[in-house]
Amino acid sequence: MDKILEVKDLHVDFDTYNGVVHAIRGVSFHLNAGETLAIVGESGSGKSITVRSILQLLAKNGTISKGEVLYHGDDLLQKSDKEMDKLRGNKISMIFQDPMTSLDPTMTIGKQVAEPLLIHNNVSKKDALKRAEEVLRLVGIPNPQARMNDYPHQFSGGQRQRIVIAIAIVDYPEILIADEPTTALDVTVQAQIIDLLKELQQKIGTSIIFITHDLGVVAGIADRVAVMYAGRLVEFGSVNDIFYNPQHPYTWGLLDSMPTLDTNESDRLNSIPGTPPNLLNPPKGDAFAPRNAYAMEIDEEQQPPFFKVSKHHYAATWLLHPNAPKVTPPASILNRFEKFKKLGGNVK
């Protein structure tokens, strides 16, 4: 499969009043053509910053201190803002989290959707608006012809997110970055938006990077999953790898805190104790160690490298080291391993 995007050893720092926050500390991943990669993690783990770095849409106090973002082998971090403008909204576009605030309140939606076309292509205003209308129909805005001249406040939250999606796909981007596109929506609308994204991916053949903290959403859309914690990836693999053969204790914690069909009504949902580390002074060892019931001494001392679990499945935990003691994951995770065996997987 073609890698259309590859992020290598990305480091992002933020200059703040209290000092330099090392928000991203060496993240590497790639995106294959036509697939959906989900990046999951709790708030503040650096998911959004990672993808904003791809488009170089960081806040003014943020700097990419190290790393490469290869788009078809071309390092985007070496490009000027002007060169990036040509890619943004054209080859790589983005869907934002909050549809209530992402649209310009004083511009008609027709114009907002047509805008990327007018920026990147040599088309007439009329043709651009016509195309915008088609795309609005494609994303499921009823009666788009009549609504082209309406303003954002005349639409519901779910409809606005459809409009935001229309803006992102109007120029048929190769890569679509969706930054928690369903977080601000209620559950039924969430499902509609996920279905819409899947449908659009089929129609226009775009690759998607999907950011979320909702594992339920991940299961519905992703081909591969990367789990992020405190500015680093801790585990990545296929959806089945992550859901049924998780290896990192953080992934265990995430999955354990999610209700499943097997959860009884009387069961309490588990949570991961503690809070993420302060990235003003990142820990020397594994950032998850203080919250990790399975932490060993080495976790405090040294950051674990990625250990290979299977061909496409890697996890950064010392538990996978040949010399590590055998530990028993939580019961719910053991159930998952059973399912993985049924799926034909090979559990360690």
Partner 1 sequence: MAKYILKRILYLFLTLFIIATITFFMMKMLPGTPFSNQNRMSAEQLKIVKAQYGLDQSVFVQYIRYIGGLLQGNLGTSFQFNNEPVTALIGQRLAPSMQIGAQAMVVGTIGGILLGALAAIRKNTWVDTLATFISILGLSIPSFVLAVLLQFYLAYKWKIYPVALWDNFQSSILPTLALSALPLGTVARFMRTEMVDVMSSDYIELAKSKGNSSWGVVAKHALRNSLIPVVTIIGPMAVSVMTGSMVVENIFSIPGIGEQFVKSITTNDYPTIMGLTIFYSFLLIIVYLIVDILYGLIDPRIRLGNGGKE
Token pair for residue 343?
């799926």
Nearest residue to 175 (alpha-carbon basis) of 114, 53, 76, 90:
90
The yes or no reply on residue 102 touching partner 1 (CB under 8 A) is yes
Nearest distance, CB of residue 9 and partner 1, angstroms: 24
Nearest distance, CB of residue 229 and partner 1, angstroms: 25
The yes or no reply on residue 85 touching partner 1 (CB under 8 A) is yes
The residue among 66 and 79 lying less far from partner 1, judged by its C-beta, is 79
Token pair for residue 131?
């195309």
| DSSP-assigned states of every residue in 170-228 | TT--SEEEEESTTTTS-HHHHHHHHHHHHHHHHHH--EEEEEES-HHHHHHH-SEEEEE
- Single out the segment in contact with partner 1 by CB under 8 A; choices: 104-112, 195-203, 229-237, 301-309: 104-112
Nearest residue to 244 (alpha-carbon basis) of 260, 267, 231:
260
Figure out which of the listed residues 79, 120, 131, 198 binds partner 1, where binding follows CB under 8 A.
Answer: 120
Figure out which of the listed residues 41, 46, 67, 89 binds partner 1, where binding follows CB under 8 A.
Answer: 89
The yes or no reply on residue 174 touching partner 1 (CB under 8 A) is no
Radius of gyration of the chain (CA): 21
Q: Are 236 and 32 in contact (CB under 8 A)?
A: no
The residue among 167 and 226 lying less far from partner 1, judged by its C-beta, is 167
Q: Reduce the DSSP state of residue 244 to 3 states and report it.
A: helix
The residue among 142 and 325 lying less far from partner 1, judged by its C-beta, is 142
Token pair for residue 251?
């992934």
The yes or no reply on residue 115 touching partner 1 (CB under 8 A) is yes
Nearest distance, CB of residue 14 and partner 1, angstroms: 15
The residue among 55 and 194 lying less far from partner 1, judged by its C-beta, is 55
The residue among 8 and 120 lying less far from partner 1, judged by its C-beta, is 120
Figure out which of the listed residues 82, 268, 326, 342 binds partner 1, where binding follows CB under 8 A.
Answer: 82
Residues in CB range of 87: below 8 A, 6 or more apart: 55, 71, 76, 79
Figure out which of the listed residues 107, 204, 343, 347 binds partner 1, where binding follows CB under 8 A.
Answer: 107
The residue among 163 and 296 lying less far from partner 1, judged by its C-beta, is 163
Figure out which of the listed residues 36, 50, 53, 90 binds partner 1, where binding follows CB under 8 A.
Answer: 90
Residues 37-56 that bind partner 1 (CB under 8 A): 55
Strands 224-229 vs 232-238: parallel, antiparallel or unpaired: antiparallel
Query: Mask: binding to partner 1, 124-153, rule CB under 8 A, as x and -?
Result: ---------------------------x-x
- Order across the sheet with 19-32: list the strands: 19-32, 3-16, 62-71, 74-75
- In the chain, at which residue ranges do the beta strands (DSSP E only) sit? 3-16, 19-32, 36-40, 62-71, 74-75, 92-95, 175-179, 207-212, 224-229, 232-238, 307-310, 313-315
AA identity, residue 290? P
Nearest distance, CB of residue 106 and partner 1, angstroms: 5
The residue among 72 and 348 lying less far from partner 1, judged by its C-beta, is 72
Give the footprint of partner 1 on this chain (CB under 8 A).
55, 57, 81-82, 85-90, 93-94, 96-98, 101-107, 115-116, 119-120, 151, 153-154, 156, 164, 167
